[in-house]
Structure 1
Amino acid sequence: MKRIDAAELEEFVGALVAALGADKDVADEVSESLVEADLTGHGSHGSIRMGTTYLEMVGSGDIDPRATPEVTRLSPTAAQVDGNLQYGQVVGRRAVETGVDLATENGMATVGVRNATHLGRIGEWAERTTDEGLCFTALVNTGGAAPLVTPPGTAERLFSTNPIAFGVPPFGALDHPVVLDMATSQVAHGKVTKRSVENRPIPEDWVIDAEGNAVTDSTDYEEGIGAMLPLGGETAGYKGFGLSMMAELFAGVVGDGKVTGQPTEHSVNNGAMFCFVDPDVYSTPADNRARVEALAEMLRNADYPDAVSMGPTAKGDRATLPGAAEHETRRKRRAEGIPFYQETLDLLADTAREAGVESAIPHSFAD
């Protein structure tokens, strides 16, 4: 794997976004968000998107790089943001800015989001909110598009990965916010797409086919073979399915958009409910700091015997509060560069050539 400097990568991605029709402000926002996803260890929602999902969506009209999101204030504590099919990284920022303003003024706020194309890494919106000292919750659907996941008992692709996210400020107790961002399927679809680009298989408990057999070829899944299991897999997938249906409905109702099962002409079109809460209305910063410190200390002092596995996908050898892994990964990658498989760099370089900005390809991409 090669390591690419974050600033160099952001400049390249910005040039690519601009070449596909966006103005500089949009290109800057999109590239910053995509590289931030790479920095936090979530490359599935990072720069690779410009060579896969976003390239296709701009070409089909599912993303309009020249659109302007519209904000409608519905009450002192409620608003809706219609992204008008602009990049989700732009729409997400407008939704967070709106929610933070309303919650700062009134103690809490709910923002519905519609026509947001792909909102990217939902954890970014949690982090941006906690940076302002507020708590955050998000439930997201895909606007009736992108069926990828099966309910328990079948192998038909019926609904999407419908992520949920939460964010709590650290209140001075930690050097990072407490942020959970997760799909309600076994894994985010981008994780499979990324493995397909990299020619890597997927674990046996992610996807099944119509005969109930595991699908481990990531490219097979990308070509339509099999369906992703809901969170919990075959053992407890009904829990992930239930969470997904709640995300589907809350995002549809509050975003005033479509849900899976309703016809849509788009390939991906996120709707969402973003909630913002001022914790100072309900408690004191000192008491909230004590709460975060107690949880962190409990995890630090737990016994972690070698005989008990953290699991094959764990990062580290002990449990930490959500958000710690991303914080540490970001710190390392800013200093050492972001690791990429050569296949991903080749894909991005090919996309730049297709877009007419071959001169923007960093020399560090070369094989």
Structure 2
Amino acid sequence: MATTVVAAGKLKIMASKDSNLPANMIVDVNGHESRKYEDFNGVFPVGGREETGGYKGFGLAMMVDILSGVLSGAEFGATCKGAGNLGLGFIAIDPNQFEDGFTNRMQSLIDACRNQPPADVGRPVLVPGDPERQHMELCDQLGGIPYTKKLLQIVDSIAERYQITPLL
């Protein structure tokens, strides 16, 4: 999961659909909020601004950075730009060493979450993994992954620049 309000890859997809991004997502080089992707210099942490709990998201991001970057000897913080010396952190826990019936208790939690009344009528409450499963089902129904016209144009321009013949 991203420890920011939105994953960087989703920002690129949003920007390919619209010239303005939603509020409270990205900051510019001066640390000020911007809605223009070309100003992108960082993403607000989970929780957004300080007054909405962003410091908690920052703490979570820092913990992940320590476990996956600092501890592993990989890039971390501002030096971590995506493609390079990326580290991974793993924590292996055997839940049955803590409490009997973990699987049933976990399913009860998932069921309780999904059975909450939704904030938006017509949009069910989801648990982690549900949106991804729904998207996989959509891709199966469509027979492939849906892309925006603008994104396909970007891919075509990259192929043209490197003189790659498109497959389709």
**Structure 1 residues 198 and 361: alpha-carbon distance in aligned structure 2, compared to 1, 3 A threshold:** farther
**Which of 10, 13, 18 is matched with 1:191 structurally?**
10
- Superposed counterparts of 1:4-83, under 5 Å: none
Correspondence for 2:116: 302
SS in structure 2 at match of 1:321: coil
Single out whichever of 322-331 and 249-258 deviates more from structure 2.
249-258
1:289 to partner: Cα distance: 3.1
2:146 corresponds to 1:339: yes
**Which of 292, 317, 326 is matched with 2:132 structurally?**
326
**Structure 1 residues 340 and 319: alpha-carbon distance in aligned structure 2, compared to 1, 3 A threshold:** same
Equivalent pair of 1:195/1:202 in contact (CA under 8 Å): yes
Correspondence for 2:71: 254
**Which of 9, 22, 43 is matched with 1:203 structurally?**
22
CA distance in 2, matches of 1:215, 1:193: 14
Aligned length: 163
Correspondence for 2:60: 243
1:192 to partner: Cα distance: 1.8
1:193 to partner: Cα distance: 2.0
Equivalent pair of 1:185/1:228 in contact (CA under 8 Å): yes
SS in structure 1 at match of 2:92: strand
1:344 to partner: Cα distance: 0.8
SS in structure 1 at match of 2:89: strand
CA distance in 2, matches of 1:211, 1:268: 23
Q: What amino acid is the match of 2:54?
A: G
Tell me the alpha carbon deviations over residues 101-158 of structure 1, each in whole angstroms, 9 at most, x when there is no partner.
xxxxxxxxxxxxxxxxxxxxxxxxxxxxxxxxxxxxxxxxxxxxxxxxxxxxxxxxxx
**Which of 103, 112, 117 is matched with 1:289 structurally?**
103
Q: What amino acid is the match of 2:156?
A: A
Gaps of 5+ in 2: none
CA distance in 2, matches of 1:278, 1:294: 19
CA distance in 1, matches of 2:163, 2:140: 29
Q: What amino acid is the match of 2:123?
A: D
Higher strand fraction: Structure 1 or Structure 2? 1
TM-score (norm 1): 0.39
TM-score (norm 2): 0.77
SS in structure 1 at match of 2:127: coil
**Which of 63, 82, 92 is matched with 1:276 structurally?**
92
CA distance in 1, matches of 2:46, 2:64: 13
Q: What amino acid is the match of 1:274?
A: F
2:161 corresponds to 1:354: yes
1:220 to partner: Cα distance: 3.0
CA distance in 1, matches of 2:78, 2:149: 39
Equivalent pair of 2:114/2:127 in contact (CA under 8 Å): no
CA distance in 1, matches of 2:128, 2:82: 31
> What's the RMSD between the two structures over aligned residues?
2.9
SS in structure 2 at match of 1:233: coil
Gaps of 5+ in 1: 1-181, 311-315, 363-367
Identity of aligned residues (%): 26
Q: What amino acid is the match of 1:334?
A: D
**Structure 1 residues 198 and 279: alpha-carbon distance in aligned structure 2, compared to 1, 3 A threshold:** same
Equivalent pair of 1:254/1:272 in contact (CA under 8 Å): no
| Larger RCO (CA under 8 A, 6+ residues apart) | 1
**Structure 1 residues 338 and 238: alpha-carbon distance in aligned structure 2, compared to 1, 3 A threshold:** same
Equivalent pair of 1:252/1:272 in contact (CA under 8 Å): yes
**Structure 1 residues 356 and 279: alpha-carbon distance in aligned structure 2, compared to 1, 3 A threshold:** farther
